[in-house]
Each structure stands twice: as structure tokens, then as C-alpha cells.
A and B are shown apart, each in its own frame.
Chain A
């Protein structure tokens, strides 16, 4: 390697990757989003062939509504995974937070926004507590949050009391998952998203050129812009041809974009990646490792609560099953399927959305085909296993090619 080092050494100058290299990068997870998009296409083709309602506007809108809860919870899970940790309590926390909101709103007549804020605060407090226990006493996060899973499920039953189920009637809460925007508003969203994205790309590119760091060719930027614009336009067109753009989708998108920004563009996000990559190195670099850990678990609890609120809004109710069943595992499996590593330090918040899409489409497709729960559970388990294997293989590949 050292002989070619000098030859290829060129400040900031990236070589154009060859086809073989691109394939390698997809396998090793650098371009895992491409892998996921290919997976989505395969899933869509399989289900569409068997049931032509799958790709209908109505079903795709339903799919988007179905994935908002998992997607929102996964946003927090991505942060925990970036640390190389795990949070098994997110499902239970989402149920408990939603129950707190429902009790405050229905039984105590709280204002909807106050009730939602209380639910989010409960989630944040739980996350903060678990994060503190984990970092202060160096207990494995797996154990702390497993204890949390049991305890918060118990708390959910306690909060719900004898009735075991509460119907939510406040339209401000139920509206979260049930409001659809008109076609015009939908197109305004599309225009704003595309405009802001284009402006951000252009500003970033001009700054790099001004600073003499010309390693981003305008071509790749234009390709990305066209790709994103096409997806946004197609999505709005499809959603508009059914009930319109749902508020829930905008909420999910806002959290994904916002938290991706925090992860990739802020010093806090950089520290999360550093702690996940090499906690000792981060500590020596002066990063307050424990503060980062507590903050990340707080984010996970907060996002779980937000996901729980959305789930309650969609169901118009909170019951003893809220946040239970396979919600937890799917929320963790999603980002892993989409390329966030279980081993820490690698991933992106987009995998929360992409993973939720993969899992959501499989589950939605199987529902359309009226498959039994037995088949559904086995298929979902198989997909999760496959995702973890792909992650592990990618890691091995990186190690054998000298990348840790």
C-alpha cells in the first residue's frame, strides 16, 4: 500500500470508484441505502404480483401511516445503536407514555398539548434515568433496559387502572395520525422540501469550492438532487391521489431530517459517533462520554414517547397492549436492516425510515394476502436474522480488508 500511497495522495482528491469497488461498498455497508432500496423494490414486486392492491395509492398511504410509530421509535433507537448499545425498553416506554397522555387527557381533562408534553417528558425522564444507571454504574445497557421493559410495562398497567383501556376523544390528539392535507398544501410541502434541499446542496457546494476543496463533483450533487426531487414529487402525487399528505408522515419526516442533522452535522452527533467507535479515544479527546450516553438514552426515551403518542392517536385508544407485541423488536430491527450497525459507530437516522419501510411493507403485504400470524411471525423473524447476518458479514469484510 505504501508504494501507491504517495502516488494517489492528493489533498482531498477522491478517486472515482470503479464498478467492483461500488459493489464492494454496497456489500460492506457503505452504500447500504442502495441495498435497502433494492430490497424494497424486490418486496414491492413480490407482493404486487400476488395482490395488485399492494401498490395502490390507498394501500401505500396506509403503509405510511402504519410505519410512523415504528419509524419515530427507531429514530431514537438509531442513536442508541450508534453508541453500540441497545435499548430494550423503547416499546414499553412508548406504551407507558401514551397511557400517561391518555389518562391526563381523558380522566383529568388536560389540554391536549399539555398531555402530550407530559407524555414526552415521561419518556425523556425514563431515558435519562436508564442512561444514568447505565453510564454511572457501568451496568450493560441490555440489562438496565430489560429491567425497564418489565417495570414500565407494569407501570402501564398501573396507570391504566381497572378499565385496562382508554379511548381518546380529543381531536387535537387523534388528529396527529388522522389529518390529511389538501392537494395544494401537499404540493407546497413538496416545493418547500425540494427548494430547501436544493439550496442546502448549493450552499454547501459553493462553500467547498470557495475553500478550494473541490472533491465533490457537481455531477453527483445534481444526481442526488434529481433523485430526491423525483421521490418527493412521486410520493406527493401518490398520497394526493388518495386522501392527501398525512400530518403523521410530515411529523416522521421532520424528526428523521432533524435528528439526522443532529447526528451528522453537529458536534454532539460527532461525539455520539466517536463514543460508539472508540469510547476510550473519545474520553481522552476530552469528550464527556457519560454525558453523551445519558443524552442518547434520553433521546431514545423521548422518541419512544413520541412514537407512543402517534400510535395512540392512530388507534384512538391506549390499552394494555400498547407498546407491546413485536413493536420493540421491529423498531430495533428496522435500522439494522437498513444498515445501522449493531456494533456502534456506523449508521444514519435515515435507516429508521428506510427500515420501517421495509418492515412495514412486508407486514402490510402479508396482511393483504391474509397470511396467518404464524407465517407473519416467522417471516419477520427471518428478515431480522437476515439483517443481522448482513451487518455481521459486512463487519467481517471490513476487518479482513483492514478496516475495523
Chain B
């Protein structure tokens, strides 16, 4: 199922230390186009740190990051955005008082041509049109594009946040706990949306605590434990039990990579 070829995004030997805490220890990680990678691990395993290293929030201390085969340095969120890496954080960062269209285009509003340009007049019609196109492409259903985001359900808000990340035409999308705190039907909608991101040939990284959701959507599952890579599984060829084993460090962790075998302290 996982796509072949050069990875879109590749991390090699990435380490990050916060004072005495080794948050990431020589982690290798890769995402290919048209692939969903589930990033799992216990609290404090380094999932968020890994995502933040990719998103440019924390630059890694060591290691290299390659994007489409070229070595890159991601020093800030803008660098990541410019490369084509979009991140949807757990808190979604939506403005509840603004409608769906306004949230989607926040910070990159379309300005109308003609005399209105002087005052940077918003081209609401164009923005609404593009919003409608994008959402229908993604099969996202929102009662009205002009409803305030605060009035939407958790699942709809998540879908709006994901749709917004696609406006910059990214190649890799990082989703931080996209299904946390969602009900069953809403979770289903969000997972459907993630599958559609894969169909668009994006590289998708999903951080999640929920293994059921990860198995439902991921092609590959990457386990972190205490800042180290603790196993990598093809979703089709493994069981939840194996993955849980890798997360907790109990039992056989499956295809462990070299780093995780060097004396683990638990």
C-alpha cells in the first residue's frame, strides 16, 4: 500500500535535547507521497518534539532533514511552510468569531482587483467560491460557509483546520491528534478526510494516541519510545498487540531499528 520512490521528507539521525532530557535520540523517519504514517508512542515519547522539529518550532540539535531528496534547514515555521509542510495542531488555531471562509483564508486573504485594491478590499466572492470548491473536493460538509466556526461541531472544526492547511498547496501535512475528543461519527469523517489527503498524493503524518484510528487510516506505523525509534510496522502486516509492545517496550517490538537496540533504560 505504501508508495515507493524517494521519500518526500526524510529525517536522519535527528536528536533534540532539552536540558537534561533527551527528547529525540538519533531518529530516522520518512514520509512518501501518497502515504499516511501514524506516529505513535506514550506521553513524552517524543512525538510532539519530532513534529515540531519538522514544523520548524524546535530546530534539531543534530541530524539532517531532506525534503524531496535535498538537504534542508528548517529554522522557523515559515521555512517549513515555504517548503510545503503544513501542520495542524491539536488546538486547531481557529478564530471562533469568524466564519468558515474567513478562517480558511486567514492571513492570506484574497484582495479584489480594481479600485478596492488600494484599501486591500477583500474579495469575498472569490474566497467563498474557492472555499466551496476546496471543501467539496475534500467532501467536507459544512451547513453554511458563512456560519461562525464557533458554531460548528468538533469534527467540522477539525475538517476546516485540515482544509485550511491545504490552501498553501503543501506536500506534507502533519496532523497532531486529529481525532482526540471527537465522537464516533465525527472521527469517521476526519479519517475519511485523511484518506482523501492520501489520494491527493500528499505525505501525511498523523500523531495519535488512538491505535484504532491509526490502524484505520495509516499505511505505516512509526513508534517512538523515550525519544528513540522503537519500531516501524506496515499497518497491514501487523497487529495492535505488536504496536502496543513497541510503545511500552514489553515483548517483541517487531522490526526494531538499530538505535532502539542499544541498551534501553526503562
Chain A interface residues toward B at CB < 8 A: 1-3, 5-6, 8-14, 207-208, 211-213, 215, 261-262, 265-268, 270-271, 273-274, 276-278, 280-282, 284-287, 344-346, 398, 402-404
Contacts and interface: CB of A to CB of B under 8 A. Distances in A.
Contacts of B128: 12, 211, 213
A278 B89 CA distance: 15
B96 interface: yes
B186 A276 contact: no
Interface residues of B, number: 45
B257 interface: no
B109 A267 contact: yes
Interface stretch (B61-69, B115-123, B213-221): B115-123
B125 A207 contact: yes
A284 B93 contact: yes
A2 B96 contact: no
Contact of A277 (B96, B111, B126, B135): B96
Interface of B: 77-78, 89, 92-98, 102, 106-109, 111, 116, 119-122, 124-126, 128-129, 132, 135-136, 141-146, 148, 150-151, 153, 155-156, 183, 185-186, 189
Contacts of A1: 153
A207 B135 CA distance: 21
Contact of A12 (B126, B145, B151, B189): B145
Contacts of A212: 129
Contact of B93 (A2, A11, A213, A281): A281
Given A266-B122, A403-B151, 7 more contacts: A3-B185, A14-B144, A211-B128, A215-B144, A270-B106, A281-B92, A287-B107
A261 B143 contact: no
A267 B111 contact: yes
A403 B183 CA distance: 18
B178 to A, nearest CB: 16
Contacts of A281: 92-95, 106
B116 to A, nearest CB: 8
B150 A270 contact: no
A403 B143 contact: no
Nearest to A82: B97
Contacts of A277: 95-98
